[in-house]
């Protein structure tokens, strides 16, 4: 299938044992099933892509009129999560209403990128957020967990953009690249990948074929 991505949900972490006895830490992802809500083409939209929806129950009152009209136009049931995945070319015959299953997209030993929203840690200082060393903890010190100077007075006479300071930690889009697919469970729509993925258990994730093959452990 030309669609090289799928929507899912993080269920949690566990471990598997390889044939040689090695312990493999894996994250269990509920990958799909998904449905093609819209097929975008170069002629109509300027690029080739599919809009996938994660098949999951959603209350009718949760679907507003614009989105309800979108689903009705393409003759698909309402879904909770919608995301786009680019296609390499326009030769694939994917159309609205087609199902996308995990076993059709990924196989064991494939490499995938997993995109999610990292856990929110609230407001954090520079020691926790950026691992600043801080000052001495000795008696009389007045510089323990402060960031220090953030800009000289004579030059540049201002704070540089991007200066590392206290602020919101986590709750941001994060991507983990080149995770190895360890196992695919077609019956339960499960995808087991080696290592950790962003977000809390129950959080939605996007799983797509890896674009950069980084150095990952086997």
What local confidence, expressed as pLDDT, does residue 170 receive? Answer: 92
Query: Where do you find CATH 2.40.30.10 in the chain?
Result: 13-31+104-120+170-218
What local confidence, expressed as pLDDT, does residue 217 receive? Answer: 54
pLDDT in tens, the chain (218 residues): 578 888 999 999 999 898 888 899 999 999 878 888 888 888 888 888 888 888 887 788 888 888 888 888 888 888 888 888 888 765 667 787 778 888 888 888 889 999 999 999 999 999 999 999 988 889 988 889 999 888 888 888 899 999 999 999 999 999 999 899 998 888 888 999 999 999 999 999 999 988 776 555 55
Assigned CATH class of 13-31+104-120+170-218: mainly beta
What local confidence, expressed as pLDDT, does residue 43 receive? Answer: 83
Round to whole Å and give the CA distance between 133 and 155: 25
What local confidence, expressed as pLDDT, does residue 175 receive? Answer: 92
What local confidence, expressed as pLDDT, does residue 192 receive? Answer: 93
Whole-structure pTM over 0.75, yes or no? yes
Determine the distance from the C-alpha atom of residue 151 to the mean position of all C-alpha atoms in its chain, rounded to a whole number.
Answer: 35
Assigned CATH class of 34-100: alpha beta
Query: Where do you find CATH 3.30.160.810 in the chain?
Result: 34-100
Determine the distance from the C-alpha atom of residue 61 to the mean position of all C-alpha atoms in its chain, rounded to a whole number.
Answer: 27
Tokens 């991507």 locate to 175
Round to whole Å and give the CA distance between 170 and 153: 32
The secondary structure of the chain as a DSSP string is ----EEEEEEEEEEEEE-TTS-EEEEEEEEE--EEEEEEE-HHHHSS-EEEEEE-----GGGS-HHHHHHHHHTT----S-EEEEE-S-S-----TT-EE-HHHH--TT-EEEEEEEPPP-EEE-HHHHH-------STT-S-SS----SS-TTTT-SPPTT---SEEES-SEEEEEEEEEEEEETTTTEEEEES--SS-TT-EEEEEE-SS------
Which two structure tokens, joined as six digits, stand for 53? 């929806």
């Amino acid at each position: 299938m030309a669609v090289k991505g799928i929507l899912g949900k993080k269920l949690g972490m566990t471990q598997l044992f390889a044939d040689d006895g090695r312990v493999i830490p894996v994250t269990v992802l509920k990958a799909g099933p998904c449905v093609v809500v819209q097929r975008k083409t170069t002629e109509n939209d300027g690029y080739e892509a599919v809009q996938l929806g994660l098949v999951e129950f959603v209350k009718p009152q949760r679907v507003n009129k614009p989105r309800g009209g979108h689903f009705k136009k393409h003759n698909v049931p309402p879904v909770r999560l919608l995301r786009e995945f680019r296609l390499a070319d326009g030769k694939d015959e994917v159309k609205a209403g087609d199902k996308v299953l995990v076993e059709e997209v990924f196989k064991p030993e494939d490499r995938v990128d997993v995109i999610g929203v990292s856990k929110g840690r609230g407001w954090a200082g520079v020691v926790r957020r950026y691992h600043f060393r801080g000052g001495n903890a000795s008696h009389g010190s007045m510089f323990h967990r402060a960031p220090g100077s953030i800009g000289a007075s004579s030059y540049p006479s201002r704070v540089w953009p991007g200066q590392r300071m206290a602020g919101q930690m986590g709750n941001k889009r994060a991507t983990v690249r080149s995770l190895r697919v360890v196992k695919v469970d077609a019956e339960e729509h499960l995808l087991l990948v080696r290592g950790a993925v962003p977000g809390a258990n129950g959080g939605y994730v996007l799983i797509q074929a890896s674009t950069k093959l980084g150095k990952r452990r086997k």
